[in-house]
Chain A
Amino acid sequence: MCDAVDTEPHALTEFDKEVDAIRQILGMKGVMTVDELRRGIEAIPEADYLRLSYYRRWIRSITATLIRKGVISEDELRAALEAS
């Protein structure tokens, strides 16, 4: 953690921007707050947290939050994963 800072610019990918946009839309529509996003990120087990990129943590937290709140069900997610 106390390493040199990587000061190079890293352009966001299309994946990053889509996850960011979905988070904004879910916030604006009152589906989930940024606080719920943060709580979900903090709940990721440490080994996964350290392995995942910034926006991969976000999509995992968003997915967990949507399931917990009943916005989507685990069965629906499983079906959508199989269909994709």
Chain B
Amino acid sequence: MTSGDFAPGASVRVRDDWPETRGPVHIRTPHYVRGKPGRVVRRLGEYPNPEDLAFARPAPRVPLYHVAFDPAAIWPDAKGGDELLIEIYAHWLEASP
């Protein structure tokens, strides 16, 4: 787990984690960005963790970030210069050197 505090422009990486292989879960982090590098665009606020809400558990609020990705870093045949912009919760992000 990271502290979950990222400034706009910060280099991050989405955790390469696959909880769905370990049991029933509900995850809002698309599989195609797991383990991929991105750049924080802005913080979008704090929201109850949907991974808990989905199971009617108490849901602590977690920071949510808008993170930009290069599609060509995800799919080799993607067109250079385009961009993917995705909402990712802080606990799915790690600082990337």
Contacts and interface: CB of A to CB of B under 8 A. Distances in A.
Interface string B32-59: 0000000000000000001001111000
Q: Is the interface of A mostly helix, strand, loop or mixed?
A: helix
A contact residues, range: under 10
A35 B53 contact: yes
A36 B24 CA distance: 12
A28 to B, nearest CB: 15
Q: Is the interface of B mostly helix, strand, loop or mixed?
A: loop
Contacts, number: 21
B55 to A, nearest CB: 7
A42 B56 contact: no
Contacts of B55: 36, 39
A51 interface: no
Contacts of B54: 33, 35-36, 38-39
Contacts of A36: 53-56
B61 interface: no
B22 to A, nearest CB: 15
Interface of A: 32-33, 35-36, 38-39, 42-43, 69
